[in-house]
């Protein structure tokens, strides 16, 4: 029987922009996030995130991240790439303001980034087989595109589809698991927003995506999933907590995963 293994680590250096998938190792930060993940966020004048949920032009914005060089490169649909030193915040903001046609601010949080779930703020996790299975629900969407739609941090190989549904329990209980030297607490199945329903490159909505997803998720929900979480079935991946003892530890591609058992749900 195959061993659950960390197959890929993906971070999203600027919240809502493109993934950075080439990491072989990554450190767990103080507030529970992974190094570089959602370290930057674009906000408008009212302090609201500028993201794919509320700004269609986000989908037309390509980004590349080079952690060794400390460089962020941005490109709009009709222009040349523009490379910036990460410390050149004013220059990045000026470029983004021109792209969006309104003033924006680039915020930075190196302690743990800007997670969607500020309570269970650890990395999200999904099985590689889950991504492949969900891609199979839709014509014309392969596993790579589905992974870009779902935007997980950790992808696990060597397990069956929906294995990650073993990593949460009820609303009073978390599931502890270890990845290499890092321990995590599985919290809940991630509630999805509108983003997975759209093509990650164009922002074009896939007709009937949510309805098809909900139908198939209901049909394939494994017996080990706690259905108390499923007030609706537009949920996939696992949100996590990071115990204090894992802060500063390093995750590595190839690390094995071990389920340790249930723990009280963190306050």
- The predicted model gives 159-179 an average pLDDT of 96
* 34-89 tens-digit pLDDT: 999 999 999 999 999 999 888 989 999 999 999 889 999 999 998 899 999 999 99
For residue 266, is pLDDT > 90?
no
**How long is the chain?**
267
Confidence of residue 166 (pLDDT cuts 50, 70, 90): very high
- The predicted model gives 163-178 an average pLDDT of 95
For residue 267, is pLDDT > 80?
no
Confidence of residue 227 (pLDDT cuts 50, 70, 90): confident
Going from N- to C-terminal start, the domains of the chain cover 5-34+114-264, 40-108
Cα(62)–Cα(77) distance, integer angstroms: 8
- The predicted model gives 191-197 an average pLDDT of 93
* 101-143 tens-digit pLDDT: 999 999 999 888 999 888 889 999 999 999 999 999 999 999 9
- What does the pLDDT read at residue 29? 93
DSSP string, 12-53: -SBTTS--EEEESEEEBPTTSPBTTTT-EEEE-TTS-B--TT
What DSSP element (H or E) covers 219?
Answer: helix 209-220
Q: Taking the model in full, what pTM does it have? A: 0.95
- What does the pLDDT read at residue 1? 60
The CATH number of 5-34+114-264, from 3.40.190, 2.40.33, 3.30.200, 1.20.120, is 2.40.33
């Amino acid at each position: 029987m195959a061993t659950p293994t960390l197959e890929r680590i993906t971070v999203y250096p600027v919240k809502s922009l493109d993934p950075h998938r080439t990491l072989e190792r990554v450190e767990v930060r103080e507030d529970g996030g992974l190094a570089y993940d959602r370290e930057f966020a674009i906000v408008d004048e009212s302090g609201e995130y500028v993201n794919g949920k509320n700004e269609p032009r986000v989908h037309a914005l390509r980004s590349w991240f080079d952690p060794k060089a400390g460089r962020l490169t941005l490109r709009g649909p009709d222009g040349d790439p523009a490379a910036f030193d990460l410390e050149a915040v004013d220059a990045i903001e000026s470029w983004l303001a021109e792209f969006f046609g309104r003033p924006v601010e680039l915020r930075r949080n190196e302690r743990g980034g800007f997670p969607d779930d500020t309570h269970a703020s650890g990395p999200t996790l999904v099985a590689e087989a889950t991504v492949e299975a969900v891609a199979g629900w839709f014509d014309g969407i392969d596993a790579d595109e589905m992974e870009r739609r779902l935007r997980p941090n950790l992808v696990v190989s060597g397990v069956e589809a929906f294995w990650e549904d073993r990593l949460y329990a009820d609303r009073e209980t978390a599931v502890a698991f270890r990845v290499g030297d890092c321990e995590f607490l599985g919290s809940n199945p991630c509630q999805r927003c509108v983003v997975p329903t759209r093509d990650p490159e164009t922002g074009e909505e896939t007709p009937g995506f949510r309805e098809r997803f909900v139908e198939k998720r209901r049909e394939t929900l494994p017996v080990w999933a706690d259905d108390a979480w499923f007030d609706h079935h537009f949920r996939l991946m696992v949100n996590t907590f990071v115990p204090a003892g894992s802060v500063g530890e390093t995750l590595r591609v190839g690390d094995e995963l071990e389920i340790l058992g249930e723990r009280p749900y963190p306050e």
